[in-house]
């Protein structure tokens, strides 16, 4: 089927060394040939071999716009599996726009956001989970998020889904064949075999679903909330971890009135650190709103850093904070170790089982140890990462949940001794839900929504 030729600027629209105008479609080479003047005499791009680069000039209405290198990639060996041309020009905003205009005047139309990747999916170059991995690679906030997205782009999710669907399809096909021809195909013992297969499938899917929270932290960063009483050193800790004076620090208790969020990278892990107002009872309306925000932030945290001023006795505010962190991964930071100690580690251990780290933000003591412990926490399994693929997409998670429900219904039918044709209905539902993840059974509206979130030129 003939498709329109599309074009877009594939690099950031800013002054840079190089910009790329990407063109894709059946007529991409011929269209570019209209505006390309090669430095080789009597040479035309239509004569070019695939995966070659050619030096020349882009000419529009008799005017030379720029000297360029033009890459030619012919179908099906290209990103979109269509003919693709990339014009590598100088990185000025004006010249890049003028070259795109020349391409459009030659017969291309502007590409929609994500349309190149959408064509790669529609032409079978990528499945839907791989296409979604492309945008996650672009948006990756950390090395680990990037690594996970690259593994997804290589088809790691696709491999798991295909294996699951193949087993479900085999069982469904055998069941349908036996129901159609009971004289020659026996279902004796099939229920037990099917039960064993379905239980294995549920276990694999459930493991994928359970990886979602860690996957979310890889994608978005670990939401790390700093809690403590006023003047405990929370904002100073944030500034020290950022290595810049981002939060206002004074000797006046209650200086921080609102939450402040910044991102820090520790050994490939992105921490979205939230500084909060000191937790205490107060008559000040504005400060009280800040304290409420601190409590809310604690509930949504992936990790809490509870800063204790070791020079001030514990009180009811500390007891509230200890309650807030009880069900969360957390470190208790015994700060101001350079001052006269009033609170000891032994006293803190009477109230909390969380690991205690002695630090002095002012003297920069204990902070390297804290960073190492946070990293160890991430890699140890509380917040974990290994070479397994992590689920990062809410759409995938929803489809897996529905598939598990359908497979669980198969088990229920087997356990209740229901007729075999009941199995087939739920097996088919699970098969189709899994297919939604890789784009085998998904409607056009979902596809359009996925690709509209892409950047232009990708």
Phi-psi region of 97 (alpha: psi -120 to 50; beta: other; left: phi over 0): alpha
Q: Where in the chain is the domain with CATH 3.40.50.300?
A: 219-380
154: three-class secondary structure by DSSP: coil
Q: Where in the chain is the domain with CATH 3.30.1360.120?
A: 6-111
> How many angstroms separate the CA atoms of 274 and 271, rounded?
9
Residue 67 CB neighbours (<10 A): 13
What tokens were used for 98? 């003028």
Gyration radius (Cα) of the chain, Å: 29
pLDDT at position 148: 82
Q: How far is CA 153 from CA 45, 126, 139, 159, 219, in A?
A: 31, 8, 14, 11, 14
Look at the alpha carbons of 348, 352, 353, 358 in this order and tell me if their dihedral is positive or negative: negative
pLDDT at position 373: 87
Regions of the chain with pLDDT less than 70: 1-2, 244-259, 379-388
CA 21 distance to own-chain centroid? 27
Read off the DSSP letter of residue 46: G
Show the beta-strand stretches assigned E in 310-441: 330-335, 355-358
Q: Which residues lie closer than 8 Å to 106 by C-beta, 6 or more apart?
A: 31, 32, 34, 35
pLDDT at position 124: 92
pLDDT at position 382: 53
Read off the DSSP letter of residue 277: P
Q: Which residues lie closer than 8 Å to 398 by C-beta, 6 or more apart?
A: none
pLDDT at position 2: 58
Residue 215 sits at the vertex; the CA angle it makes with 210 and 220, to the nearest 5 degrees, is 140
DSSP assignments along 209-236, one per residue: HHTHHHHHHHHH-EEEEEEESTTSSHHH
What tokens were used for 407? 């497979």
CATH number of the structural domain 131-211+392-441: 1.20.120.430
Q: How far is CA 395 from CA 64, 140, 214, 334, in A?
A: 48, 18, 16, 42
pLDDT at position 24: 97
Reported CATH class of domain 219-380: alpha beta
pLDDT at position 380: 58
pLDDT at position 427: 95
Q: Which residues lie closer than 8 Å to 343 by C-beta, 6 or more apart?
A: 308, 309, 310, 311, 312, 313, 314, 334
- Residues 6-111, CATH architecture: 2-Layer Sandwich (3.30)
| Among 91, 87, 74, CA closest to 38 | 87
Burial 291-326 (b: 16+ CB within 10 A, else e): bebbeebbeebbbbbbbbbbeeebeebbeebbebbe
Q: How far is CA 68 from CA 94, 105, 110, 244, 360, in A?
A: 15, 18, 21, 42, 57
Q: Where in the chain is the domain with CATH 1.20.120.430?
A: 131-211+392-441
């Amino acid at each position: 089927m003939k498709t329109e030729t599309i074009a877009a600027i594939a690099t950031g629209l800013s002054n840079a060394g190089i910009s790329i105008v990407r063109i894709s479609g059946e007529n991409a080479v011929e269209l570019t040939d209209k505006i390309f003047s090669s430095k080789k005499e009597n040479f035309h791009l239509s004569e070019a071999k695939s995966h070659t680069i050619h030096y020349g000039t882009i000419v529009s209405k008799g005017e030379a716009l720029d000297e360029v290198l033009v890459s030619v990639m012919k179908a099906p060996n290209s990103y979109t599996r269509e003919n693709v041309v990339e014009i590598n020009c100088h990185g000025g905003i004006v010249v890049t726009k003028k070259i795109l205009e020349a391409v459009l005047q030659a017969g291309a139309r502007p590409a929609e956001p994500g349309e190149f990747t959408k064509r790669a999916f529609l032409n079978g170059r990528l499945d839907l989970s791989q296409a979604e991995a492309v945008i996650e690679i672009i948006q990756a906030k950390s090395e680990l998020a990037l690594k996970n997205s690259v593994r997804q782009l290589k088809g790691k999710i696709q491999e798991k889904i295909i294996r699951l669907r193949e087993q479900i399809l085999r069982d469904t096909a055998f069941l349908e064949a036996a129901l159609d021809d009971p004289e020659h195909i026996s279902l004796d013992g099939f229920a037990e075999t099917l039960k064993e297969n379905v239980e294995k499938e549920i276990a694999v899917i459930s493991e994928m679903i359970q990886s979602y929270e860690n996957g979310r932290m890889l994608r978005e960063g670990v939401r790390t909330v700093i809690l403590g009483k006023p003047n405990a050193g929370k904002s100073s800790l944030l500034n020290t971890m950022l290595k810049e004076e981002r939060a206002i620090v004074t000797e006046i208790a209650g200086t921080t009135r609102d939450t402040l969020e910044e991102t820090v990278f520790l050994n490939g892990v992105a921490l979205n650190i939230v500084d909060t107002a000191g937790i205490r009872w107060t008559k000040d309306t504005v400060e009280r709103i800040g304290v409420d925000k601190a409590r809310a932030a604690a509930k949504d945290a992936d990790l809490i850093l509870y800063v204790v001023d070791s020079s001030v006795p514990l009180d009811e505010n500390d007891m509230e904070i200890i309650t807030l962190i009880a069900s969360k991964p957390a470190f208790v930071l015994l700060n101001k170790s350079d001052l006269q100690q009033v609170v000891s580690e032994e006293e803190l251990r009477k109230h909390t089982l969380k690991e205690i780290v002695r630090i002095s933000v002012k003297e920069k003591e204990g902070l390297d140890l804290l960073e190492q412990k946070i990293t160890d926490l991430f890699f140890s399994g509380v917040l974990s990462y290994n070479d397994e693929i992590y689920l990062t997409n809410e759409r995938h998670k929803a489809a897996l949940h529905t598939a598990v429900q359908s497979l669980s219904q198969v088990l229920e039918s087997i356990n209740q001794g229901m007729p075999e044709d009941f199995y087939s209905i739920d097996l088919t539902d699970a098969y189709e839900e899994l297919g939604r993840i890789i784009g085998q059974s998904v409607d056009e509206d979902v596809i359009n929504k996925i690709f509209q979130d892409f950047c232009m030129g990708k």
